[in-house]
């Protein structure tokens, strides 16, 4: 099965206030359609790792591949294009623009790629809302929908450019158990039925136990 994301011997140092070896020789692969979670105690380096994997932080040693392309050392413009095209993000907080409609929020990341017409982007966005069973919310303002619905809008937005992988930083951290399970089921369906890869940092054991694989971290290392 093809490999979507590969980290090879990633090391990261923070230089201030004192030199600190935060990520230690991190190597792993995420395959197409794989749903993996990253767990570990607070401060073990999960967010720092996700920041590197998502191509946002380029100050690290080692190599990172996205769809078999070496992305380490690429210039910022190319990285930003790759990120937009291949990676979808879902965070603990939805970061929706509250005065914009649900539909407009979902369309926004596609407008950056400028390959499609507005009508095409709108059709794509409606299709994503349908997948998430929230097409009836399309015209509502983001501020007018519930917390669980907002997170589903955020997932639709993450899907709009048909990414190869979705990265989540505590995507259920702000949800009650009903909505958290809902988000898990959506992710599971996307990986099973559409071959989407998912890599999710979580503190939620129930969530992690249901994923295909748990990447366990301790003190900047992968320990299992
Ligand atoms: N910019 C920075 N400069 C120096 N040290 C940092 C910086 N950012 C994070 N750290 C330190 O690096 C370590 C890893 O932080 P990180 O945020 O990756 O942990 P985490 O596992 O995501 O924690 P949490 O579960 O609490 O979000 C922590 O000890 C943190 O204090």
Q: What is the pLDDT of residues 43-101, one digit of tens each?
A: 999 999 999 999 999 999 999 999 999 999 999 999 998 998 899 999 888 789 999 99
Average pLDDT over the chain reads 94
Residue where the block lists tokens 């794509």? 124
pLDDT for 175: 87
Cα 177 to its chain centre, rounded Å, is 20
Pocket, ligand 1, Cβ cutoff 6 A: 14, 20, 22, 40, 42-48
* Residue range(s) defining the domain that contains residue 27: 3-222
Give me 60's structure tokens: 């690290």
Quick: pLDDT tens for 189-210. Answer: 999 999 999 999 999 999 999 9
Query: Which residues lie closer than 8 Å to 220 by C-beta, 6 or more apart?
Result: 21, 22, 23, 24, 26, 44, 45
In this prediction, residue 188 carries a pLDDT of 96
| Ligand 1 atom 27: residue of nearest CA | 42
Residue 217 CA: nearest ligand 1 atom is 21
Number of domains composing the chain = 1
> Which CATH number does the domain housing residue 8 bear?
3.40.50.300
Return d(Cα 222, Cα 44) in angstroms, integer: 10
Question: Which of 133, 130, 200 lies closest to 165 in space, CA to CA?
Answer: 200
Ligand 1 atom closest to the CA of 17, numbered from 1: 4
Give 160's contacts (C-beta < 8 A, 6+ positions apart). Answer: 88, 106, 107, 109, 110, 121, 124, 125, 128
Buried b (16+ CB within 10 A) or exposed e, 73-87: ebeeeebeebbbbbb
Apex 180 CA angle, 47 and 142, nearest 5: 85
Distances (CA, A) of 115 to 76, 83, 102: 20, 15, 22
Quote the Cα angle for 79-40-23, to 5°.
45
Q: Which of 16, 22, 23, 54 to mutate to test the pocket of ligand 1 (most atoms within 8 A of CB)?
A: 22
Structure tokens at 37: 């979670």
Q: Specify the pLDDT at position 6.
A: 98
């Amino acid at each position: 099965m093809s490999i979507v994301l590969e980290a090879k011997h990633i090391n990261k140092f923070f230089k201030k206030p004192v030199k600190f070896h935060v990520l230690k020789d991190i190597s792993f692969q995420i395959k197409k359609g794989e749903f993996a979670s990253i767990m570990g105690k607070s401060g073990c380096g999960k967010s720092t790792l996700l920041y590197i994997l998502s191509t946002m932080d380029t100050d690290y040693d080692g190599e990172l591949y996205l769809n078999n392309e070496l992305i380490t050392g690429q210039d910022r413009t190319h990285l930003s294009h790759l990120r937009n095209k291949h990676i979808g993000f879902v965070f603990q907080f939805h970061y929706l623009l509250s005065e914009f409609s649900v539909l407009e929020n979902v369309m926004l990341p596609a407008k950056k790629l400028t390959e499609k017409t507005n009508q095409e982007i709108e059709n794509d966005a409606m299709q994503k809302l349908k997948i998430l069973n929230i097409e009836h919310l399309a015209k509502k303002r983001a501020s007018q929908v519930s917390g669980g619905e907002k997170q589903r809008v955020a997932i639709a937005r993450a899907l709009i450019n048909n990414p190869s992988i979705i990265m989540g930083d505590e995507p259920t951290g702000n949800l009650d158990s009903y909505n958290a399970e809902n988000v898990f089921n959506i992710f599971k369906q996307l990986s099973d039925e559409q071959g989407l890869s998912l890599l999710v940092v979580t503190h939620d054991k129930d969530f992690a136990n249901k994923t295909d694989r748990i990447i366990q971290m301790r003190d900047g290392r992968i320990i299992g």
